[in-house]
Amino acid sequence: MKLTLKIWRQSGPNDKGQIVTYPIDNIEGDMSFLDMMDVLNEELIVKGEDPVAFDHDCREGICGMCSLFINGEAHGPDRAITTCQLHMRKFSDGETIYIEPWRAKAFPVIKDLVVDRGALDRVMASGGFVSVNTSGNTVDANAIPISKIDADKAFEAATCIGCGACVASCVNASAMLFVSAKVSQLALLPQGKVEATERVLNMVRTMDEEGFGNCTNTGACAVECPKEISLDNIARMNREYFKAMLTSE
């Protein structure tokens, strides 16, 4: 098929950036969206032009590195997948496709479609862990039974891949779904309970400092989340947060 690509080009953080049009031909339905981007870049390199920079790595939907905003949706038109799992058969011959980076104050553009998501790592470093040293002397793994229901819920929250689609989809560029997924995972497990109060306060504070917006319950994040992280996690984090506000020293 033949397509018209309208791609955001920005040479660096301080460049204003603009949409540039690239026609592309001979695209097959079996190709993944990123295979298509590879084809475009090969053509650009041979022509002596600058290839389009985009982030990607595992290309099987789990590393969370790929991050394209396609036709106004994070990870494109399909549901429950990342950009690398999107296939060209979802588009039709002659279509125009708009490709932009994640847009959020907390995610400055590095080049073209590549943004800096370091803010998410900094939120994690402020509390997204259980403070246990590596020793080989922790209690036996079966010493603390955990109900299957809680373990499964914790697992579902823990499947977040940290791609930032929730932030990119949110009208406020809020990171609530991302932060709440980690807060929920650890709040649901006995191992995480000891530090629950400080954890939620620290992570929310860092989230605000990093310039993420507030949550106004539009739910767009959960719709676009490639791992279908539930809005329940945001509700759980809010409960944890209020509880922490009332009980912290």
Partner 1 sequence: MSILDSKIPSGELNQKWSSYKDHIRLVNPANKRNIDIIVVGTGLAGGSASAALAELGYNVKAFCFQDSPRRAHSIAAQGGINAAKNYQGDGDSVFRLFYDTVKGGDYRAREANVYRLAEVSASIIDQCVAQGVPFAREYGGLLDNRSFGGSQVSRTFYAKGQTGQQLLLGAYSAMSRQIGKGKIQMYNRHEMLDLVIVDGKARGIIARNLVTGSLERFSAHAVVIASGGYGNVFYLSTNAMGSNVTAAWKVHKKGAFFANPCYTQIHPTCIPVSGDHQSKLTLMSESLRNDGRIWVPKNLEDSKAIREGRMKPTDISEEERDYYLERRYPAFGNLVPRDVASRAAKERCDAGFGVNATGEAVYLDFASAIERYGREKVRMNHDGEASMETIMDLGTEVVKAKYGNLFQMYYKIVDQDPYKTPMMIYPAVHYTMGGVWVDYNLMTTITGCYATGEANFSDHGANRLGASALMQGLADGYFVLPYTIADYLADDIRTGKISTDLPEFVQTEADVKAGIDRLMNIKGTKTVDHFHKRLGKIMWDKVGMARNAEGLNWAITEIQKLREEFYSNVRIPGTVDSFNPELDKANRVCDFLELGELMAKDALNRTESCGGHFREESQTEEGEAKRNDKDFAYVAAWEYTGKPSEAILHKEDLVFDKVKLVERNYK
Residues 12-51 that bind partner 1 (CB under 8 A): 12, 28-32, 34-36, 38-39, 42, 44-46, 48-51
Beta bridge partners of 221: none
d(C-alpha 22, C-alpha 34), whole Å: 15
- Residues 197-226 contacting partner 1, CB under 8 A: none
Angle at 33 between CA 30 and CA 35, to 5 degrees: 75
Question: Closest distance between partner 1 and the C-beta of residue 213, in Å?
Answer: 21
Output the DSSP codes for 204-220.
Answer: HHHHHHTT-B------H
Query: Using CB under 8 A, which of 3, 7, 33, 61 touches partner 1?
Result: 61
Q: Which residue do the tokens 């998410």 mark?
A: 120
- Residue 223 in tokens: 């719709």
For the window 69-108, what string marks contact with partner 1 as x by the rule CB under 8 A?
---------x--x--xx-x-x-------------------
- For the record, the structure tokens of 156 come out as 């579902």
Q: Which of residues 165-204 bind partner 1 (CB under 8 A)?
A: 185-186, 189, 191-192
Residue 219 zone, left/alpha/beta (φ > 0; ψ -120 to 50; rest): left
Q: How far is the CB of 241 from partner 1 (least distance, A)?
A: 19
Tell me how far, at minimum, the Cβ of 180 lies from partner 1, in Å. Answer: 15
Contact region with partner 1 (CB under 8 A), list: 92-100, 110-118, 208-216, 233-241 = 110-118
Helix (H/G/I), strand (E/B), else coil: 3: strand
Nearest distance, CB of residue 218 and partner 1, angstroms:
26
Number of residues counted as binding partner 1 (CB under 8 A): 81
- Nearest distance from C-beta of residue 125 to partner 1, angstroms: 4
Confirm or reject binding of residue 55 to partner 1 (CB under 8 A). Answer: yes
**Token pair belonging to 147:** 């109900």
Please check whether residue 81 is in contact with residue 226, taking contact to mean a CB–CB distance below 8 angstroms. Answer: yes
Beta-sheet strand order (sheet of 96-100): 18-24, 3-9, 96-100, 69-70, 73-74
What is the closest distance, in whole angstroms, from the C-beta atom of residue 118 to partner 1 in the complex?
A: 7
Residues 147-166 vs partner 1: string with x where CB under 8 A? Answer: xx--xx-xx--xx-xx----
Among 4, 19, 23, 57, binds partner 1 (CB under 8 A): 57
Residue type for 15, please?
A: D
Work out which of 68, 70, 97, 120 binds partner 1, going by CB under 8 A.
120
Give the nearest distance from C-beta 145 to partner 1 in angstroms: 3
Tell me the C-alpha distance between 204 and 202, whole Å. 6
Task: Write 146-152 long-range contacts (CB < 8 A, 24+).
Answer: 146/189, 146/190, 150/188, 150/189, 151/188, 151/189
